[in-house]
């Protein structure tokens, strides 16, 4: 029997994660709905992997027989902290490539106009959805790097990346404009947001230091 871990999120909805089938998760308004949707996602996910000839260890997996437990913390399950086996990384790569290929197959032949079209006002277009996927993957990759307790190695490393990127920027990048998730971006806008964000949190650091002084 596989375990589903359920968490109540800050917005009042529920998240259900099935760690025995990495990639299988679902959100819903109620706890029971989240578990049921997780079952549906598991069936669809297994079907996709089999269609893509991705070997899985769940040929006898029964979505109807699930043990439901509370997650220890949001978006976290105990299996996240078990030792990584060689097959874990291999399985991840096979599944990740299969999911990426399936997504590309669905949109590869669409026109630019079709990619930009929204189902309704307030919903994402396919292009915006793809941009979200890419942005999230970049953000998740950064979680592989530890934040040092002593010194400011990661903080300084990111600063060097920013400085290098802007130091070698060519005219095309400097003058270019593109849209990500419905928002227009230019080099000047990115530069402005970097400075705003840095100064905003510099002031926040001053506030924290002041509060710590009063508590000392």
Domains of the chain listed by start with CATH number? 1-84 (3.30.160.250)
Indicate the pTM of the whole model. 0.77
Copy the structure tokens of residue 98: 């299969």
- Cα separation, 199 vs 216, in Å, equals 26
Instruction: Report which of 203, 178, 177, 169 is spatially closest to residue 195, judged by C-alpha positions.
Output: 203
Q: Contact, 34 vs 6, CB < 8 A?
A: yes
Each residue's pLDDT tens digit in the chain (216 positions)?
889 999 999 999 999 999 989 999 999 999 999 999 999 999 999 999 999 999 877 555 677 788 999 998 888 899 999 998 888 888 999 999 999 999 999 999 989 999 989 998 888 899 999 999 998 888 888 777 776 677 677 778 888 888 988 898 888 888 988 888 888 888 889 889 888 888 888 888 888 888 878 876
- What's the angle, vertex CA 115, arms to CA 114 and CA 119, rounded to 5? 75
- Cα separation, 136 vs 140, in Å, equals 6
Radius of gyration, CA atoms only, the chain: 22
Residue-level pLDDT at 35: 96
- Quick check: helix, strand or coil at residue 115? helix
């Amino acid at each position: 029997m596989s375990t589903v871990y359920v968490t109540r999120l800050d917005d009042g909805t529920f998240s259900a994660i099935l760690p025995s089938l990495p990639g299988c998760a679902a959100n819903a308004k109620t706890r029971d709905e989240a578990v049921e949707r997780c079952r549906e996602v598991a069936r669809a996910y297994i079907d996709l992997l089999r269609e893509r000839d991705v070997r899985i260890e769940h040929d006898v997996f029964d979505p109807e027989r699930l043990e439901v437990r509370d997650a220890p913390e949001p978006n976290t399950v105990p299996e996240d902290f078990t030792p990584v086996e060689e097959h874990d990384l291999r399985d991840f790569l096979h599944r990740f490539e299969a999911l990426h290929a399936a997504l590309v197959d669905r949109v590869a032949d669409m026109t630019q106009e079709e990619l930009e079209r929204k189902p309704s006002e307030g919903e994402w277009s396919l292009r915006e959805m793809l941009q979200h996927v890419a942005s999230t993957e970049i953000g998740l990759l950064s979680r592989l790097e530890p934040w040092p307790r002593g010194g400011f190695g990661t903080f300084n490393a990111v600063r060097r990346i920013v400085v290098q990127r802007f130091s070698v920027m060519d005219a095309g990048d400097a003058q270019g404009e593109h849209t990500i998730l419905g928002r227009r971006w230019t080099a000047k806008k990115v530069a402005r947001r970097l400075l705003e964000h840095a100064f905003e949190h510099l002031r926040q650091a001053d506030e924290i230091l002041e509060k710590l002084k009063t508590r000392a």
